Amino acid sequence: MPPLIQVTHPNGIYLPEADLWLDPHFPGKRAFISHAHSDHVARHEMTFCSEVTRDLMKTRYGYKSEGEMRVLPMREAVEWEGWELRLLPAGHIIGSAMLHLTRKADGATLLYTGDYKLRQGLSSERCELLHADTLIMECTFGLPQFTFPPTAQVVHQVLKFVQETLEDGGIPVLLGYSLGKAQEILCALAEAGHPVMVHKSIWDMTRAVAPLLGRLPEYRLFDAAQAAGHVLLFPPSNGRSIAIKKLKVCRTAMMTGWALQPGAKFRYQVDEIFPLSDHADYPELVETVQEVKPRCTWLVHGYTHEFAADLRQRGFEAWTLERADQLELTLASAAPVLRTAVETGSNDWGRGSFAQWAEACAQTAEVASRLKKVERLADMLRSLSDVEELALAARFSAGSTGDAPLNTGWSLLKRALIELSGVNEAEYRTISRSQADTGRTAFLVLQRAVLSPTACSLSDVAAFFAQLSRAGGQVERVKLIKNRLQQLTAATGAWLVRLMTGELRMGSKEGLIEEAVAAAFDAGADAVREAAMLCGDIGQAARLASKHSLHEAKPRPMVPIKVMLASPEETAQDIWERLNTAEVWLEDKYDGIRAQMHRTAERVEIYTRDLKPVGAQFPEIMQAASALSAEVILDGEIIAHAEDKKLSFFDLQKRLGRRDQADLFLPSDVTVKYVVFDVLWKDGVSLLEKPLTERRAKLEAISLPAGMGVIEVMKAASADDIEAAFHAARRRGNEGLIAKDALSHYSPGRRGKSWLKLKKAFATLDVVVVRAEQGHGKRSHVLSDYTFAVRDEEADNSLRIIGKAYSGLTDAEIEELTEHFTQTTLSQRGRVRTVTPEIVLEIAFDSIQASNRHDSGLAMRFPRIKAIRRDKGPAEIDTLAYARKLAGVSV
């Protein structure tokens, strides 16, 4: 009996004897690509694949002459360097193939399934198996609960959904991946007689393989104006697109094997969900092993640990390839937990429990109406009789975990979830990518953990957050997180993870919570907002509202309040007309750090505009402030100079949390000054309601020590005066102007029309996108964050990264680019795709400085996308030399 062919998994499936990778997600020397889905495709020096897969890679990913493409015929043996290669239909999608490998020296065999299914698909060849000594197989659905109904039954249910939706005057939207699932659905619709409209990506893929599919329904490109009476077929990532939302009468249905999981409809946020899958279900996985009869089975993707234990109980040698097996955990003991129904976050533990809060959040997320969201949150807040629990509920609902940072990034949470559940890195990555949602990912992972739910109050969670903030190291923090999650249900634990990551995603930004507090205690929403601003804490505002004491909210030292903001205007004339006063006050807009200073007899502190204390990083200003005779809350800007040269925000920013560069900014090298432009509180009296003229008088009456100064105020009597002052400010090295109404009150956190700013974009650069990243929140289903580059003429026009932007485009443009970048992905790592550099953007920014953040040696401040330059190609983008000129940087 020959020895088995060696299989390793250093960072993917690798056969060292053949020097061959199997479906790696990164470029390699030699690789087999089983099918043309993006997570299996990368550009290799030599690629083995089927003919259809090759053609699809050319159509979908723009493959041209990158590397050698070796097309293998189906079922025929091909000899290669001492091996015999044979492709077999995998049944996954059209063109998908298994690889059967024979070592010619001794006849040892191996079968790699890739993604596959045994059921006869409507758009792909039936899978064919062949005996092998070693079997490498995927087991995405490797649990007994995943037993799919017959395909004909599922298709019948889909067609019934379509028919009923059309009869009700609605538009059915079926969601399936552009390649594979979409063609399966089209084939299913062939007999129904309904006209179909498809998304552009599905149109392109279907046109590429249409001659191989047989009969298809009448289908055309999506046109919103003509959508009525049609069945719409879209990729899942576009199921919540603006185009669909505008139609208003759409009903959406998702096609996925995960439909068999409890609560799947809620997680995918669709009207219906059907278990139509292009992967093998549990009975097919078992049948595969029984038919191939391998001496050893290696499992990848999905429930590898559980299915390996199952196979060993059946007498097969089976192991997970991606991690070590835990033989002490049998499938029998794990199955009941894995099959647990979705927990609803029940409030059985009583009022004030964290589970009650989580349930209220889940209910809030389910409804689209803002009024209903407010009503459900208000009901929860009203039910809390303990004012401390009320304050915590309000804070948590606003996404706040307290004043102290938790020091737990997503990597620590991921580690805790993996250790608690037993999933491996690859399984976790698969779940995470399929959901694109922190909470849903946590829920699915926690469903696979052995949990012991106990009573947990909001105060218990607050205490847990306090422990995390004090924890000494990563090991201790991971242990704390695991222990807390183990004492919650999967649904409640998922909401804890959402809260810790700041991704509640229930439409409950702070403004909505303020409305809920107002509704709960019959208060005015504006009064609650004002109290929350002054207190710097929505929890304290909720306390006051419950006692009908909102009027007691006043500024207090060491409780930072949100700064008043200025609204942007394009021209001096716009400012003059907007303020509509005989005289406009003007101040230079510095390129520094907005800072609020609190000074009492006992303490001095400095807070940034996001309310974080930073005084320890500016000891010279703290020392100067301690010499003040008055107790005050001041609003101003921290600016810096070095060697008689004014520094920029880029330089000053290095003082904020960058210890490795702190030695560059010792007081002896850099002069840091606090420029004051407003006083908000003085000697126990709030000045917020006083006019600016009175606040200015009180400010000028304060004797400021060295290291602090009052900003100069200029007076303008016309638009021409404002324009002249703007250019003068620019000549002084400042960003622009702030124009103020002399009678304006100070409105914390508000961007009103009594303060206006005139900045004018510094310049624009034409750049090319080199990476596209999955967005967050409402943009989690699209690629909305773009990394871009300029041309380096001195290095053969190679591309040098200069920045990243995610604002400036419309939702429709983002969806268009998402489709383009999905089809032109060169490689993918997590949420980030490296893409073919061909989309040119015009980028506006406030300034540009030397920086080691990017390989260009430059970085932009506040970059935003001004336009997609459809008239330009990559060869026409701006050069690194031009960018350096704008930055005033010499090589």
Residues β-bridged to residue 650:
none
Question: Kindly report the CA angle at 763 between 757 and 764, in degrees rounded to 5?
Answer: 120
Does one domain contain both 234 and 329? Answer: no
Q: Determine, yes or no, domain membership for 532.
A: no
Does one domain contain both 792 and 833? Answer: yes
Asked whether 573 and 566 are in contact (CB, 8 A), the reply is no
CATH number at residue 636: 3.30.470.30
Q: Determine, yes or no, domain membership for 427.
A: yes
- 467, HSE (Cβ side, Cα atoms, 13 Å): 14
Q: Determine, yes or no, domain membership for 520.
A: no
Give the pLDDT confidence score for residue 198 in this predicted structure. Answer: 93
Does one domain contain both 260 and 289? Answer: no
| 548 three-class SS | coil
Give the pLDDT confidence score for residue 653 in this predicted structure. Answer: 61
Closest CA relative to residue 398, chosen from 527, 515, 509, 539:
509
| 753 three-class SS | strand
Give the pLDDT confidence score for residue 341 in this predicted structure. Answer: 30
From the candidates 117, 181, 482, 589, which is the catalytic residue? 589
Q: Is the pLDDT of residue 320 over 50?
A: yes
Q: Is the pLDDT of residue 381 over 90?
A: yes
Write the CB contacts of 97 (distance below 8 Å, at least 6 apart in sequence).
34, 35, 49, 50, 53, 72, 74, 87, 88, 89, 90, 114
Residues β-bridged to residue 87:
74, 99
Over residues 295-317, the mean pLDDT reads 89
Residues 609-653 have pLDDT tens digits of 878 898 988 899 999 999 998 999 999 999 887 655 566 666 666
Give the pLDDT confidence score for residue 5 in this predicted structure. Answer: 94
Does one domain contain both 301 and 316? Answer: yes
Q: Determine, yes or no, domain membership for 65.
A: yes
Give the pLDDT confidence score for residue 751 in this predicted structure. Answer: 78
Q: Determine, yes or no, domain membership for 525.
A: no
Give the pLDDT confidence score for residue 349 in this predicted structure. Answer: 40
Does one domain contain both 707 and 595? Answer: yes
Give the pLDDT confidence score for residue 328 in this predicted structure. Answer: 30
Q: Is the pLDDT of residue 697 over 50?
A: yes
Q: Determine, yes or no, domain membership for 542.
A: no
Does one domain contain both 60 and 136? Answer: yes
Residues 62-76 have pLDDT tens digits of 666 567 889 999 999
Write down which residue in 230, 259, 274 finishes a domain.
274
Write down which residue in 720, 741, 758 finishes a domain.
758
CATH number at residue 240: 3.40.50.10890
- Amino acid identity of 18? A
Mean pLDDT of the chain: 86
Q: Determine, yes or no, domain membership for 459.
A: yes
Report the distance separating Cα 490 and Cα 443, nearest Å. 5
Complete DSSP assignment for 445-483: HHTTS-------BHHHHHHHHHHHHH--SHHHHHHHHHH
Give the pLDDT confidence score for residue 562 in this predicted structure. Answer: 84
Give the pLDDT confidence score for residue 649 in this predicted structure. Answer: 64
pLDDT confidence bin for 43, thresholds 50/70/90: confident
Report the distance separating Cα 661 and Cα 651, nearest Å. 10
Over residues 89-93, the mean pLDDT reads 94
Residues 780-833 have pLDDT tens digits of 778 899 999 999 988 888 999 999 998 888 887 888 898 888 888 888 887 899
User: E strands within 52-117?
Assistant: 68-71, 78-80, 83-89, 97-103, 109-112
Give the pLDDT confidence score for residue 241 in this predicted structure. Answer: 79
- 781, HSE (Cβ side, Cα atoms, 13 Å): 14
Domain that holds residue 715: 565-758
- Percent of the chain past pLDDT 70, that is, above it, reads 90
CATH number at residue 447: 1.10.3260.10
- 302, HSE (Cβ side, Cα atoms, 13 Å): 22
Over residues 561-579, the mean pLDDT reads 89
Does one domain contain both 136 and 71? Answer: yes
Does one domain contain both 772 and 693? Answer: no
Instruction: Label residues 653-684 b or e (16+ Cβ within 10 Å = b).
Output: ebbeeeeeeeeebeeeebbbbbbbbbbbbbee
Give the pLDDT confidence score for residue 352 in this predicted structure. Answer: 62
**Total domain count, the chain:** 5
Q: Helices marked H in 571-705 — which ranges?
A: 572-579, 619-625, 649-653, 692-700
Give the pLDDT confidence score for residue 667 in this predicted structure. Answer: 46
Give the pLDDT confidence score for residue 92 in this predicted structure. Answer: 93
Q: Is the pLDDT of residue 438 over 70?
A: yes
Closest CA relative to residue 857, chosen from 814, 891, 821:
891
Give the pLDDT confidence score for residue 668 in this predicted structure. Answer: 44
Residues 323-376 have pLDDT tens digits of 544 433 232 223 222 222 333 334 344 456 899 999 898 888 877 778 888 999
Report the distance separating Cα 43 and Cα 64, nearest Å. 10
Q: Helices marked H in 562-656 — which ranges?
A: 572-579, 619-625, 649-653
CATH number at residue 804: 2.40.50.140
Give the pLDDT confidence score for residue 346 in this predicted structure. Answer: 40
Write the CB contacts of 658 (distance below 8 Å, at least 6 apart in sequence).
none
Asked whether 254 and 236 are in contact (CB, 8 A), the reply is yes
Does one domain contain both 331 and 379? Answer: no
Q: Beta strand pairing status for 196-198 and 231-234?
A: parallel
Q: Is 547 an active-site residue?
A: no
Least trusted range by pLDDT, from 237-241, 711-715, 720-724: 237-241
Give the pLDDT confidence score for residue 890 in this predicted structure. Answer: 61
Give the pLDDT confidence score for residue 617 in this predicted structure. Answer: 85
Over residues 370-383, the mean pLDDT reads 91
Q: Determine, yes or no, domain membership for 541.
A: no
Does one domain contain both 630 and 725? Answer: yes
Write the CB contacts of 640 (distance below 8 Å, at least 6 apart in sequence).
592, 646, 647, 651, 652, 665, 670, 671, 672, 673
Report the distance separating Cα 682 and Cα 659, nearest Å. 34
Does one domain contain both 166 and 124? Answer: no
* Statement: the pTM of the whole predicted model exceeds 0.75: no
Does one domain contain both 42 and 102? Answer: yes
Complete DSSP assignment for 167-191: HTT-EEEEE--TTTHHHHHHHHHTT
Write down which residue in 510, 542, 575 finishes a domain.
510
Residues 240-261 have pLDDT tens digits of 777 788 888 899 999 999 888 8
H-run or E-run covering 727: helix 719-731
